[in-house]
Amino acid sequence: MALSNTSYHHGDLPSALVRAAVELLEEDGAADLSLRAAARRAGVSTAAPYRHFADRDALLSAVAAVGYRDLAEHLVAASPAPSTADDLAAIAVAYVRFALARPALFRVMFSDPCDPTSPERVAATTAIHEYVRSIVRQVFPDSDEESLATAMWALVHGLAFLYLHGKFDAEDIDERVRSTVFAILELSGPPA
């Protein structure tokens, strides 16, 4: 339900503002997202957000943290207990599909300035990075875990942006992502 249909009454105003910002972002993109617009959507005074967010960048950091958590849930749903290269490829496909399903949020997560000192954002990005490392550790126990995890994330992230910018036909997402992941995995050596 859109927050614009109801007024904010008591509760967690920062969360209501972030939800409102995510809704606005997904409707109109980041260009017009502001603390005032989020306040209007949440049904509070335009001064209310400033008690919780210093500026637009602080709000975007909170929005990005929500995006990272949503992405993590999406990846885990693709393969709840990854243990094979096929599982890793399925997670890569889920990553790209998330980017295409929620492009404005994805861009805020990775393109727009976010406060790197935001504990919520740092925790969310750390969780994603650790998730990728844990998969690499499970599937390729003899590999350089950090390097392979970074390579896999960079590869899949690059594919996501190539699709977002229309460089690849969206009809072949699953096959292209899977085959690209397997090509890199072959270069890194077989799993133990």
Q: Please state the pTM of the whole predicted model.
A: 0.85
* Same domain (yes/no): 123, 40: no
Cα separations in angstroms, 30 against 148, 183, 191:
32, 35, 41
pLDDT at 112: 62
* Same domain (yes/no): 69, 37: no
* Same domain (yes/no): 27, 76: no
Instruction: Tell me if 126 sits within 8 A of 68, measured CB to CB.
Output: no
The structural domain count of the chain equals 2
* Same domain (yes/no): 43, 88: no
* Same domain (yes/no): 108, 162: yes
For residue 7, the tally of other CB atoms under 10 A from its CB is: 9
Instruction: Tell me if 63 sits within 8 A of 25, measured CB to CB.
Output: yes
Report the greatest alpha carbon distance in the chain. Answer: 59
CA angle 100–73–173, rounded 5-degree value: 30
User: Can you give the pLDDT of all 192 residues of the chain as single tens digits?
Assistant: 344 444 445 478 999 999 999 999 999 887 778 999 999 999 999 898 989 998 888 898 899 999 999 999 999 999 988 889 899 999 999 999 999 999 999 999 987 666 677 888 888 888 888 888 998 898 889 889 999 999 999 999 999 999 999 999 888 899 999 999 999 888 766 554
d(C-alpha 63, C-alpha 22), whole Å: 6
* Same domain (yes/no): 12, 49: yes
Residue 170, C-beta contacts closer than 8 angstroms, at least 6 positions apart: 100, 163
* Same domain (yes/no): 168, 78: yes
Name the residue with tokens 């904010």.
Answer: 8
* Same domain (yes/no): 49, 69: no
Residue 2 covered by a domain: no
* Same domain (yes/no): 101, 28: no
* Same domain (yes/no): 129, 153: yes
pLDDT at 3: 44
Instruction: Tell me if 121 sits within 8 A of 61, measured CB to CB.
Output: yes
Residue 130 covered by a domain: yes
* Same domain (yes/no): 83, 177: yes
Instruction: Tell me if 180 sits within 8 A of 96, measured CB to CB.
Output: no
CATH assignment at residue 108? 1.10.357.10
CATH assignment at residue 30? 1.10.10
pLDDT at 70: 95
Range of the domain at 184: 65-188
Name the residue with tokens 């949020």.
Answer: 105
d(C-alpha 120, C-alpha 97), whole Å: 24
Residue 92 covered by a domain: yes
* Same domain (yes/no): 109, 182: yes
Residue 3 covered by a domain: no
pLDDT at 8: 47
